[in-house]
Chains A and B, each alone.
Chain A
């Protein structure tokens, strides 16, 4: 008896004509939605902010505080993102935004947007970003906030610039520094695809820059995607299709895809320096890096440091962020390891429960 029941249940039912029509209708609606999600932009970076300073393409924003002045932290936080992506990922969508989260916790929050370099910026180097732009940004922020000390959060190449700034300008009031997935140590030439590709003698950054000026965003984007080709070129879209009827997932995907698609070029001079001085010669860690003719010595970095490392980071493998902790002079320093990838640790589903509260509590203890 039970055998007979199980056979009946496992036999596929022949769909009726009505079922087939309904199925086609649903599939065509889903296809339409899929196509719209692929080709349209979601609204990102919606938290209100005011522009307080500009220089060339660089902009400094101050987010409109949401808590009364007496409840705010006295030490402002400056967020420095990478130079080859937009910083919107810090404020991806309402209800899932690191910016919103920090504002709710009473931070006076500033965002440095490096902007998209034009052909006239092809000679910009890390010397300029670190010693020309960032000190001016800090000066303006300190003046607007009316304080002498500040905290800084650097992510990816923004963390590299922040680290060099902190080492070269240790007396400008930097109190706390949060490094997120910081690519600093390139000693291991087999760690991660980027290091392997760019340290190969066949890879010539000088030829790229001589021919193209700025490095096109498409080239950087395809390089990043080729680190995990199946996931990025195929898996991301199949995941979307599988969840096409789940608005929570599609909204998150749409916002992230909007950020991913918004690619910008990288200044040629900075790219050349990144490949030659950092990836190939590891000058920052070797102590041979010079900016504007002066050595960058990590021992000069004295600010409190929290170094957030993504354990599954394929862009900045953990080994590229670890050794810096032995070379800086900070007394108060901590490594925080997070399960996740390069972007996922701050923009993924677990960020709000794990990474954001940890950073916030670390900063809160040092911001008054």
Chain B
């Protein structure tokens, strides 16, 4: 709804801005939704993301290598080392969970026999 002259108050500048916003918001929202749903938008954002990742990839690799070498020189574990350790811990957790399941199974069978 556009602001009418009757509502106009020259001593309330924020009210004027609000009127302008309310009058245009839904039209802008619809226009933007239509825009981001075009193939042109999908293609351009996909291409930009791909270009950024492809171009920054080699620099990131160099940084990672430098960091790994520095940490190795200082006898400190790298992120990859910690990740590998965490993966092993998860595998151990899974084994423990399997054992827990088997123990539950065994205990319930023993319980059943006891009741018989």
Contacts and interface: CB of A to CB of B under 8 A. Distances in A.
A and B: real partners?
A: yes
Contacts of A235: 25, 29
Contact of B42 (A196, A212, A234, A242): A196
B86 A12 contact: no
Q: How large is the interface on A (under 10, 10 to 19, 20 to 34, 35 or more residues)?
A: 35 or more
Interface in A160-207: 193, 196-197, 200-204, 207
A200 B87 contact: no
B32 interface: yes
Interface string B70-84: 000000000100111
Contacts of A227: 33, 36
Contacts of B84: 120
B46 A202 contact: yes
Interface in A48-78: 54-56
A10 B4 CA distance: 11
A118 B6 contact: no
A317 B40 CA distance: 21
Contact of A211 (B18, B25, B53): B53
Contacts of A231: 29
B104 interface: yes
Interface string A230-254: 1100110010001000000000000
B32 A229 contact: yes
A228 B104 CA distance: 50
Interface string A204-223: 10011011100000000000
**What's the dominant secondary structure at chain B's contact region?**
helix
Contacts of B104: 143
Given A10-B6, A15-B11, A120-B83, A230 B32 contact: yes
Contacts of A212: 53
A120 B87 CA distance: 6
Contacts, number: 91
Given A12-B10, A55-B90, A200-B39, A207 B54 contact: yes
Contacts of B50: 202-204, 207
Contact of A193 (B37, B57, B86): B37
B3 interface: no
Contacts of A210: 57
Most buried by A among B41, B43, B49: B49
A10 B83 CA distance: 70
A214 B90 CA distance: 17
B109 interface: no
Interface string B1-41: 00000101111100000100100010011001100110101
A139 interface: yes
Most buried by A among B10, B11, B84, B104: B11
Given A119-B83, A200-B39, A203-B46, A14 B11 contact: yes
A259 B2 CA distance: 35
Contacts of A56: 90, 93
A211 B56 contact: yes
A202 B21 CA distance: 35
A15 B21 CA distance: 24
A321 B6 CA distance: 49
B35 to A, nearest CB: 9
Interface string B45-71: 111011001101100100000000000
Given A14-B11, A15-B11, A200-B39, A120 B86 contact: yes
A230 B11 contact: no
B21 A238 contact: yes
Contacts of B53: 207-208, 211-212
The 4 closest A-B CB pairs, nearest first, are: A202-B46, A203-B46, A120-B86, A120-B83
Given A15-B11, A197-B41, A211-B56, 20 more contacts: A54-B93, A55-B90, A118-B86, A120-B87, A120-B90, A139-B101, A193-B36, A197-B46, A202-B42, A202-B44, A204-B46, A207-B53, A210-B57, A211-B54, A211-B57, A228-B32, A229-B33, A229-B36, A231-B29, A242-B18
26 contacts: A12-B9, A12-B10, A12-B11, A12-B12, A15-B11, A54-B93, A55-B97, A56-B90, A118-B86, A193-B37, A197-B42, A197-B45, A201-B46, A202-B44, A202-B46, A202-B50, A203-B42, A203-B46, A204-B50, A207-B53, A207-B54, A210-B57, A228-B32, A230-B32, A230-B33, A235-B29
